[in-house]
Chain A
Amino acid sequence: MKYLLSTAACALALAVSPAFADRAAVLDTYADIAEAAYADSLSQAEALRAAVAALVAEPSPETLQAARAAWRAARMPYQQTEVFRFGNAIVDDWEGRVNAWPLDEGLIDYVDAAYGGPTDANELAALNVIANPRPVIAGVEVDATRITPKLIAGTLNEADGIETNVARGYHAIEFLLWGQDLNGTGPGAGARAHTDFVAGEGCTGGHCDRRADYLLAATGLLVADLEEMAANWVEGGAARAAVMADEDAGLVAILTGMGSLSYGEQAGERMRLGLMLNDPEEEHDCFSDNTHMSHYYDGLGIQNVYLGRYIRTDGRVVEGPSLAELVAEADPSLDAEMRAKLDATMAALGAIVTAAEGGFAYDMMLERGNAEGEALIMAGVNGLIDQTRSIERIVTALGLDRIAFEGSDSLDAPGAVFE
């Protein structure tokens, strides 16, 4: 009864405001931000591909450094697109190709002895395809004499049906550029030498030609994958069309992405779990120690979508009618609450960035008993969880809870958080 009353009040509020026109415009802004952010991700990936080609052509400390810088730059726009996951099936079906994590990196290349060999969960955890042109996968010998995009995409990625067999995407490339971070929770990132890519004499780590082939192929795949997703969001693209097909469902997609990324994915899986495991491999960008930036830009993506405003890589601004305005029409105090919580989260994630850039790297924060690190990370986690509660309130305030989450991949077929 009580519920019916509040729904009626809500419907009344909507009836007196020009809600329907607004909703379409809000969805337009959302799709425009997606289009721009995926386009930026693509152009940064192309720059990464060029830097990787330069590294392979002429391995040196400088070209390796340039490739790493290009990788870091490529993460900034991409992480801001993660908010388009969970609500959009077309993104969810594709995402595993570009940002799958965590990975058993021993599948790809040499690892330290402490890494161990095959595990209960993954017989291929130490396959090392770069050193092994004829590996056996699930009982079948595979021809890996040439490392090609097809081999990586078709045979190696998720080999044997194991999700941690991540052979492609940002984190596979990250591993090839940095190597394992063997410093545990102490200072320092992965320290792969440029000589790992030197052809012929001077090669370190063995099989430098195959390692170079792998890096080139994986980077090429990343560019191709981002081309595909960028095309999905332009005028006439499938992802944009899906969002625009139904206004209420489109709004649910926006809010589902914001809530699922905030809570289950970012706060839960990526931040709190790693902290509670005290395991430096549980940081999102564990080879490069770039995790603080990835978390920050993930959070920023959520804020972008709410405020209807995205600053592109080149500084141009994409903006338009926003979800925030829609919420403010229905309930100004709820809009103020949501804005304040997003600000609080960004402040907390910003504090992690500041600390990391000051030398207190994210993996050092994960150390057993490190109270300062725990406080920094948990402030981010708490902010993200807290903002999820306001996102739920928005679902109700916009009258979306009756249809809420029907057809959302995330709730109808939730991949368990640990999968």
Chain B
Amino acid sequence: MRLALCLCAALAASPAAAGVEEALAGPILPGLAAFAGAAEDLAEAARADCRADALAPDYHAAFDAWMAVGDIRLGPSETGALAIAFWPDDRGFTARTLNSLIAQQDPVADDAAAFAEVSIAARGLFALDMLLFDETLSAYGPDDYACRLVRALTADLAGQAGALEAAWRESFAQSLRTAGAAGNATFLSPDEAVRALYTQILSGLEFTADSRIGRPMGSFARPRPKRAEAWRSGRSLRNVLASVEASAALARALAGRDLPETDAALARVRVAAGRIGDPGFQDLADPAARLKAEILQQEVRGVKAAIEAELGAQLGIAPGFNAQDGD
């Protein structure tokens, strides 16, 4: 009750920045709730039958739900996303950590609270991707340690998803809505909230072009298909499309209007994606397949350019720093 009063006072004191409420009510909060629901469904399915084949549909549903909000690395998601989706993994941490848990039959799998302290490399969607789809690891039976590990992982994921959704709904969403109001130490002006969301849109598209597509492409002489995101489950292309759709949806919400150039660029991404042969990007050693991936990458960058032109110009802002600014 006190919270609600505070919010009203704050809103009255400072007009909410255009688009922020639409972004929250549109893609963000419902998207997080849908992800929490899908993660709970996955955990429930794992309790009933932990085997890899049985879990695949719920796994894909949960990953799809994540992709709708996964590139928003802001507020509670800034740290939270790392334990839900630890990728890229250049040094093979996920394989190493999972194999070590399995080899030691680490009892942490039977202790939910302790599991939350496990390395992020063995938690979240990418650890599941390896357990459920790696040829060797996925061959476990219902009585094997890996089965308990899958149950622990899915329960932990559901817990994380629920906590993330609650943190946004109960707290961080209000920080965004009340940007610029007295007492809001996070966003000192409405523009700061808009800029924060705008930065997420652009950095998500950058990440898709540079990492989701660029990493497996490698160089012409040395393609790196094993660096593709979620290649074991064949989700690489699906994630590219979902991430771009999510960025465009957030841009539309923030703009509060249609963005025709962005939509046209998005349509070109869909066409380019339709020409990709292997949804897991494992055919990139073939020059023709590589060319198609390169075109897809260009079209994703086209969406970013369109959003900068349409939305960035409208808002009159440049993006802030994002977590990819290191090297």
Which residue numbers of A lie inside 8 Å of B, CB to CB? 2-4, 6-7, 85-86, 92, 95, 102, 104, 116, 119-121, 138, 160-161, 163-164, 259-266, 268-270, 272-273, 276-279, 281, 368-369, 385, 388-389, 391-393, 395-396, 401-405, 410-411, 414-419
Name the residue of chain B whose CB is nearest to the CB of A406: B318
21 A-B residue contacts at CB 8 Å? A2-B191, A6-B191, A7-B316, A85-B327, A116-B96, A161-B222, A259-B320, A259-B321, A272-B82, A276-B82, A278-B117, A278-B119, A392-B320, A393-B192, A396-B191, A403-B318, A411-B319, A414-B324, A416-B210, A416-B324, A417-B327
Indicate whether B105 reaches chain A with its CB closer than 8 angstroms.
Answer: no
Which B residues touch A391, using CB under 8 A? Answer: 321
Chain B nearest CB, measured from A137 CB (Å): 12
Name the residue of chain B whose CB is nearest to the CB of A268: B323
One of B85-93, B141-149, B257-265 at the interface: B85-93
Indicate whether B270 reaches chain A with its CB closer than 8 angstroms.
Answer: no
Chain A nearest CB, measured from B182 CB (Å): 14
Give per-residue flags for B86-113: 1 if the beta carbon is below 8 A from chain A beta carbons, else 0: 1011111101100000000000000000
Using known A-B contacts A161-B218, A276-B82, A369-B114, determine if residue A418 contacts B88 with beta carbons closer than 8 Å: yes
* B120 adjacent to A265 (CB under 8 Å): no
Which A residues touch B192, using CB under 8 A? Answer: 392-393
- Bound Cα distance from A161 to B90, whole angstroms: 13
Q: Give the interface residue-count category, chain B.
A: 35 or more
Partner of B326, one of A161, A164, A417: A417
Which A residues touch B204, using CB under 8 A? Answer: none
Partner of B118, one of A116, A368, A410: A368
Chain B nearest CB, measured from A136 CB (Å): 15
Indicate whether B325 reaches chain A with its CB closer than 8 angstroms.
Answer: yes
- Bound Cα distance from A266 to B327, whole angstroms: 10
Partner of B83, one of A86, A269, A276: A276
Which A residues touch B325, using CB under 8 A? Answer: 86, 259-260, 263-265, 410-411, 414, 417
Partner of B120, one of A268, A276, A404: A276
Partner of A263, one of B92, B190, B321: B321
Using known A-B contacts A6-B191, A161-B219, A268-B326, determine if residue A120 contacts B92 with beta carbons closer than 8 Å: yes
Partner of A121, one of B92, B114, B317, B322: B92
- Bound Cα distance from A419 to B325, whole angstroms: 11
- Bound Cα distance from A416 to B79, whole angstroms: 17
Which B residues touch A3, using CB under 8 A? Answer: 191, 315-317
* A279 adjacent to B119 (CB under 8 Å): yes
* A119 adjacent to B92 (CB under 8 Å): yes
Indicate whether B211 reaches chain A with its CB closer than 8 angstroms.
Answer: yes
* A417 adjacent to B82 (CB under 8 Å): no
Partner of A120, one of B86, B226, B320: B226
**Which of B91, B190, B195, B319 has the most chain A CB within a 10 Å cutoff?**
B91
Indicate whether B140 reaches chain A with its CB closer than 8 angstroms.
Answer: no
Name the residue of chain B whose CB is nearest to the CB of A96: B327
- Bound Cα distance from A404 to B83, whole angstroms: 32
- Bound Cα distance from A4 to B315, whole angstroms: 10
* B92 adjacent to A414 (CB under 8 Å): no
- Bound Cα distance from A86 to B327, whole angstroms: 9
Which B residues touch A7, using CB under 8 A? Answer: 316
* B324 adjacent to A388 (CB under 8 Å): no
Using known A-B contacts A161-B218, A277-B120, determine if residue A264 contacts B91 with beta carbons closer than 8 Å: no
Partner of A264, one of B117, B318, B324: B324
Which B residues touch A276, using CB under 8 A? Answer: 79, 82-83, 86, 119-120
* A393 adjacent to B321 (CB under 8 Å): no
* A164 adjacent to B82 (CB under 8 Å): no
* A264 adjacent to B323 (CB under 8 Å): yes
Indicate whether B10 reaches chain A with its CB closer than 8 angstroms.
Answer: no
**Which of B188, B315, B320, B322 has the most chain A CB within a 10 Å cutoff?**
B320
**Which of B90, B120, B315 has the most chain A CB within a 10 Å cutoff?**
B90
- Bound Cα distance from A85 to B326, whole angstroms: 9
- Bound Cα distance from A417 to B326, whole angstroms: 5
Partner of B318, one of A116, A261, A401, A419: A401
- Bound Cα distance from A419 to B215, whole angstroms: 9
Name the residue of chain B whose CB is nearest to the CB of A408: B325
Give per-residue flags for B235-258: 1 if the beta carbon is below 8 A from chain A beta carbons, else 0: 000000000000000000000000
Indicate whether B290 reaches chain A with its CB closer than 8 angstroms.
Answer: no
* A269 adjacent to B316 (CB under 8 Å): no
* B321 adjacent to A119 (CB under 8 Å): no
Name the residue of chain A whose CB is nearest to the CB of B203: A414
**Which of A3, A102, A261, A402 has the most chain B CB within a 10 Å cutoff?**
A3
* A269 adjacent to B326 (CB under 8 Å): yes
* A121 adjacent to B227 (CB under 8 Å): yes
Give per-residue flags for B304-317: 1 if the beta carbon is below 8 A from chain A beta carbons, else 0: 00000000000111
Partner of A417, one of B121, B316, B324: B324
